[in-house]
Amino acid sequence: MYPYKLKRQHHLASKVKAKRLERSNPILQKLRTGAAHNIVLSDEKNFIVEQDFNPQNDPILAKKDKLGDNGVNIVQKPKSVMVRVALTETGKSPLVFVPAGVKINTNEYINIILEKGLVPWAEQHFQKEP
């Protein structure tokens, strides 16, 4: 026997489970019939670009007087970059980098991500499709 820890997991109500099943059936049907080549999946991710620091995992071997200025500067809100990509069965879109400091609302999402990223790529990628 081994000691296992209980995992935290989200509680899904029966209504939520039924809604997921209702939404997933058409997608599964497309996958079964082979019509999934024109399904586009997209995702966005925020990447923190500043150095991560954990003193337990990052030791410095030095004499006390030679330690010097080997500290790591930390800030309250580290800099980050948002990246977006789209995938299909037959290819992937180029990465779209959201400019720093831009707050994504509906208009910015349409202008930056859709019109400059996904739509031109999709038109070029699916131009052979009927």
- For the segment 7-16, what is each residue's pLDDT rounded down to a tens digit? 888 899 999 9
- pTM recorded for the entire structure: 0.59
The pLDDT tens digits for 97-112 are 887 777 788 888 888 8
**pLDDT value at residue 69:** 66
Q: Report which of 60, 34, 37 is spatially closest to residue 125, judged by C-alpha positions.
A: 37
CB 101 within 8 A of CB 79: no
Confidence of residue 17 (pLDDT cuts 50, 70, 90): very high
> Hey, which of 55-59, 77-81, 91-95 has the most confident mean pLDDT?
91-95
Cα–Cα dist 121/125, whole Å:
6
**Adjacent-strand bridge partners of 83:** 45, 97
Scored b (16 or more CB within 10 A) or e, 37-46 reads eeeeeeeeee
Q: Report which of 124, 117, 126 is spatially closest to residue 94, judged by C-alpha positions.
A: 117
